[in-house]
Amino acid sequence: MKKQETKSAIGERIKRARQAKGFSLRTLANLVGLSHQAIHKYENNQDIPSSDVLLKLSNALEVPWEYFFRPIQVGKLKPAYRRQKRLTVKNERMILFQIEEWLERYLELEELFPQEKFRHKLPEIPARTPEEAEQAAEKLRQIWNLGLDPIENLVETLEDKGVKVGLVDGAKGFDAAAFCMEDGTPVIAVAKSVPGDRQRFSIAHELGHLVMGLWSDSSETEKLANRFAGAFLAPASAVRAELGDKRRFLSLEELSILKKKYCLSMQAWIYRARDLGIISETKTQQLYAIFRKKGYHLQEPVIIPPEKPSRFERLVYRALAEELISDTKAKELLAISEFLAGGKKE
């Protein structure tokens, strides 16, 4: 990389990392023992920090040293996600930074395996009514040949279809976010610390935003994305096969069994039954009253473990086995401090 390109990248990276942490120029300057004018010059490419200063910046911003020298490959991300109204601007910026940093590592790794690059685009199935959202979910299942059975591993299914799925630390109030990269590649980022059933519903919700082209955060589009998510994880015909066409009530034991089978929350099953006219609104509210009384609205019985993306990690170990990267590089890409034995050492 040419000197000017390196200089420009470092300045932009310092600024991104600082804003992601919510630091002012003065706050960062105080943490590394410099003046805020010095930080301003670094960010505006008027000066290049020394190795010692970069190390201090790395510690203060909690990013690896290599971050400052990694090529900037992630262009502008087009959002298609639930806007978390509980999130502050600072936390939204921090989450976006986490997503961009993960994607940069992903794209850098893919450069080692050009034949493995996914450039698949998701089917476009516009929907503007609840019924159309239901149909969009069914159509996507048909296009992907998923049948009507429960989806055993949702994350793996999406990765196989070219969707980049990643886990990020996130922030309080954040579940998931969806984006399209400049080349059209769909991206879904999910918080690490959510239960599996909630994680799967959030991913399916974001998938609905992408497939149906819902680019706003209005309450109506959120309802459509929720309807898509429920229909994608538990198709209408499967729900009726499990519950019947009409019910006077649903037992908690029955809902618990269905949660285990479909990895879809008990409350989501109640919503599906109501949306499909299997139970009435009155019975729906009675069930939710029981949930509140038992505390199930906060934590349901039966814990579903979260799913974990595997494609990125597999490519890292493949690159290590083929001696395309070193042990140190593998740790950097995986963003871990320790590594399995048997890797190629520098």
- CATH number for the region 116-240 comes to 1.10.10
Predicted local confidence at residue 313, as pLDDT: 94
Domain 1-72, CATH number (from 1.10.260.40, 3.40.50.261, 1.20.1730.10, 1.20.1250.20): 1.10.260.40
Predicted local confidence at residue 340, as pLDDT: 47
Domain limits, the chain: 1-72, 116-240
Question: Long-range contacts made by residues 299-305, C-beta under 8 angstroms, separation at least 24?
Answer: 300/197, 300/259, 300/265, 300/266, 300/267, 301/252, 301/256, 302/256, 302/259, 302/260, 302/266, 303/195, 303/196, 304/195, 304/196, 304/197, 304/200, 304/259, 304/260, 304/263, 305/195, 305/196
Predicted local confidence at residue 51, as pLDDT: 92
Predicted local confidence at residue 4, as pLDDT: 44
Judge if 1-72 and 116-240 fold alike in CATH terms. no
Residues of the chain short of pLDDT 50, as ranges, are: 1-7, 82, 338-346
pLDDT in tens, 255-275: 999 999 999 999 999 999 999
Predicted local confidence at residue 288, as pLDDT: 96
Unique residue bearing structure tokens 């906060």: 298
Predicted local confidence at residue 341, as pLDDT: 42
Name the pTM for this structure: 0.88
Predicted local confidence at residue 86, as pLDDT: 66
